[in-house]
Amino acid sequence: MADHMSPASPPAVERLTRYTKADQGEILGDSPDPFGVDGYGLTWLPKEDHFGVRLEGRLVAHTGLLRLPVSIGGARTDVVGVGGVAVAPDLRGRGLARLVMTAALDHARTMGPQHGILFCRLPLVSLYQRLGWRVVEGDVQVEQPDGVVVMPLQTMWTPLRDGVTRPPGELRLLSFPM
């Protein structure tokens, strides 16, 4: 796409040793609900592994990963949860989300689980489909402080190994979402 960075010179993605609220603010500014999900009142887990892009010293893009216990069709396993995908408002539409997501998924493939999952608002489904993610059909249950609830956001999945098919059966997180 014409507005994208030249494939010959994409910025480097770095593994961040930490990712604080201030780092998120450096990317997204100080708007009160930059992910547009506060209205759901969900409790989220912080991510453990963080990948970022700096341009001229400024952090401009991030994706986080967290290994999570799940049940798929009643069988206990783990997935890699992807979250906190963020690009600075003035630099969107240039492939930075694709770049940082690709690096994060390269790492996720070394973590063991077969599936990556993420949660997103409906308007972002087509963007993530463009990045190779697929919709998880049906309700997905997640833990919350007062018990199990149905995730109100769209759940999407991506294979982390060759030949992996969609999660075979009902997906339930055995933890808070990420």
Q: Which residues would be at the binding site for ligand COA (CB under 6 A)?
A: 1, 34-36, 85-87, 92-98, 120, 124, 126-127, 130-131
Rounded CA separation 143/146 (Å): 8
Least distance (Å) from ligand COA to the CB of residue 126?
A: 4
Cβ 93 to ligand COA shortest distance, Å: 5
- In the bound state with ligand COA, the residue whose beta carbon lies nearer, of 1 and 12, is 1
Which lies closer to ligand COA via its Cβ, residue 31 or residue 73?
Answer: 31
Q: Residue 65 or residue 87: which is nearer to ligand COA going by CB?
A: 87
Quickly list DSSP for 76-104: EEEEEEEEEEEE-GGGTTSSHHHHHHHHH
Q: For 49-68, b where at least 16 C-beta lie within 10 A, e where not — what string? A: bbbbbeeeeebbbbbbbbbb
Q: Please report how close the Cβ of residue 32 comes to ligand COA at its closest, in angstroms.
A: 13
Tell me how far apart the alpha carbons of residues 76 and 36 are, in angstroms, rounded to a whole number.
Answer: 31
Minimum CB distance to ligand COA, residue 79 (Å)? 16
Give how far the C-alpha of residue 138 lies from the chain's centroid of Cα atoms, to the nearest Å. 19
Which CB sits closer to ligand COA, 31 or 112? 31
Instruction: Round to whole Å and give the CA distance between 178 and 176.
Output: 7
CB-nearer residue toward ligand COA: 85 or 105: 85
Least distance to ligand COA, CB of residue 2, Å:
10
Q: Dihedral of the CA atoms 159, 160, 163, 167 (nearest 10)?
A: -40
